[in-house]
Amino acid sequence: MKNDTALMNENNQTHALLISDAKKLVQSYPRVPITVDCVIFGFDENELKILLIRSDLEIFRDKWSLLGDFAGDNEVLDDAAYRVLRERTGMEDVYLEQVRTFSHPDRHPGGRVLTVAYCSLLNIEHHQLKKMDNELHWHSVKHITEMAFDHQQIMNECYKWLQKRIQEHPLGFNLLPEKFSLRELQNLYEAILDIKMDRRNFRKKFFAMDFLIDTGEYEDDVPHRPGKLYQFDFHKYSHTKKKWNGIDF
Amino acid sequence: MKNDTALMNENNQTHALLISDAKKLVQSYPRVPITVDCVIFGFDENELKILLIRSDLEIFRDKWSLLGDFAGDNEVLDDAAYRVLRERTGMEDVYLEQVRTFSHPDRHPGGRVLTVAYCSLLNIEHHQLKKMDNELHWHSVKHITEMAFDHQQIMNECYKWLQKRIQEHPLGFNLLPEKFSLRELQNLYEAILDIKMDRRNFRKKFFAMDFLIDTGEYEDDVPHRPGKLYQFDFHKYSHTKKKWNGIDF
DNA sequence: AAGTCATTGTGTAAAAATAACACTTTAAAA
DNA sequence: TTTTAAAGTGTTATTTTTACACAATGACTT
């Protein structure tokens, strides 16, 4: 399997023979179909949601599937993932990040297909499900089961990734309206991390970070005292990122 | 590019046509050669090292390359990465983890080749470079340049990954002898994180974690007062893992 | 044997971060 | 006007982090 061509010389040393025809070398490699799969999270009714479509494979009839597509011939995988999002949701500038690659040879019933999982976060309000994609729906992450392929595993890994990521990076704001109340923000964290947090300490924490811009506006659709609306100051954040040098495990 | 076959029916609703022949579907996908590349870190003389080989491509003559190989026809990528390690270093039970996938179409001069980067940590003392691989050498991570393909970028990403990872997981012990002094441990952290740490606080931190087993032995090759030797209690650690629920960015 | 050298090993106090906890205010709805 | 539901707000105790200096040890030198 190893691909270096080597020869012993008289000093018992080796010299690799240099390969001059890189194209020929690459042509000798096995080739594998590649897909990208997008784990698209949203937040609605105080629940973390995931956008799924019915599998279009007979063998997975009635099972849910991540939004994916194969990667084009010379397409960078990030581009493929953005393309999937654009084609399915019409959204352009969404948060997207590669999570990991899944390669089990039996993961696809049609033969070996390698897939690269991407995690995307989008604000459900900004998003119009395209009518064409009738079976495209938001599902509660907590309750979804019966997924096609290894998509349950991919979703779980992306969910764990998100839980960790949201603690260390301001991703969560991609799931909220541009202007949000602290209660909404806390609900988001509680839903994603699946824990309860102390309201006073939560507020103290975010105010201390000092990345929330007070818009002066208030909620207007609530049947009780409305909360103040804030925006996240991405600009200030990007100039302030600090590095943690602790050790903790 | 999108692969769902859909039809409007009289209610202006869509029904996907189910695909019954998954094999045929997969055969219609473009296929890409896949490699794994191992970023193998070691630690010696208080420096973080990386194991590299001379590129065997003419076009990259005299440049350094990560240890990689293409993935076999039905080979799980993790297995391919372990195989590369075994073939190149003779080591079996080493630490290995997938980091990310690189897909730029121009990253390989022989045409599109997608590579999945793995990070591996190994104890240089336990490792015998195989004579066959004459050009296989440890290099200082700080000083290496002139790498083949996009391997410099891959190395940098894996290095950043390692810096973060070592703060939160007990990986570092894979780079040290089984029994090590606290000075060695601190040197390792200082080298990888590229910072100076306070010796007393460093010790306090590790003793407080309570995962170090005092072997009762001492260093015996130092020209000064020898330090105590410790082992990491992986067993206790695996039963104690705690979860951090804070928010910090 | 005495002295020098380099590094180990140790404690405390101040500062910062976290965690626990309850009452008053506000606006909407009844 | 009253009720209701959530907003908004501070203090204290605890834990964690940081900063910092000197005595003990063993190897090496003379």
Which residues lie near nucleic chain D, judged by CB under 7 A? A 181-183, 199-201, 203-204, 218, 222-228, 245-246, 248; B 198-201, 204-205, 220, 222-226
Cβ burial B117-152 (10 Å sphere, 16+ → b, else e): bbbbbbbbeebeeeeebbbbebbebeeeeebbbbbb
DSSP secondary structure letters along A192-240: HHTS---HHHHHHHHHHHT-EEEEEEE--S-SSSPPEEEEE-HHHHHTT
| Positions in chain D where some atom is under 7 Å from a protein CB | 4-11, 17-21, 24-28
- The answer to whether residue B56 neighbours chain A at the CB level (below 8 Å) is yes
- Whether CB of A201 is under 7 Å from strand C: the answer is yes
pLDDT given at position A16 = 55
Q: Which of chain B's residues have a Cβ under 8 Å away from the Cβ of A59?
A: 20, 22
Chain segment B42-67, per-residue pLDDT in tens? 999 999 999 999 999 999 999 999 99
Q: How many CB atoms lie within 10 A of CB A104?
A: 17
Strand C interface, B 162-181, C-beta < 7 A? 181
**What are the residues facing A32 on neighbouring strands?**
B32
Contact B109, A22 (CB under 8 A): yes
For residue range B129-157, list pLDDT tens digits in order.
765 666 889 999 999 989 999 999 999 99
Mutate to test the interface with A, among B24, B27, B56 (most CBs of A within 10 A): B56
- Written as tens digits, the pLDDT of chain A (249 aa) is 444 444 443 334 445 579 999 999 999 999 999 999 999 999 999 999 999 999 999 999 999 999 999 999 999 999 999 999 999 888 989 999 999 999 999 999 999 999 999 999 999 988 777 656 668 899 999 999 899 999 999 999 999 999 999 999 999 999 999 999 999 999 999 999 999 999 999 999 999 999 999 999 999 989 999 999 999 999 999 999 889 999 999
Cα A111 to Cα A57, A68, A108, A154, B26, distances in angstroms: 13, 16, 6, 18, 7
Structure tokens given for B141: 């991570």
Q: What is this structure's pTM?
A: 0.92
Residues 205-234 of A with CB under 7 A from strand C: 205, 220, 222-226
Give the integer Cα–Cα distance in Å for B127 and B52. Answer: 14
Give yes or no for residue B244 having a pLDDT over 90.
Answer: yes
pLDDT in tens, B210-229: 999 999 999 998 999 999 99
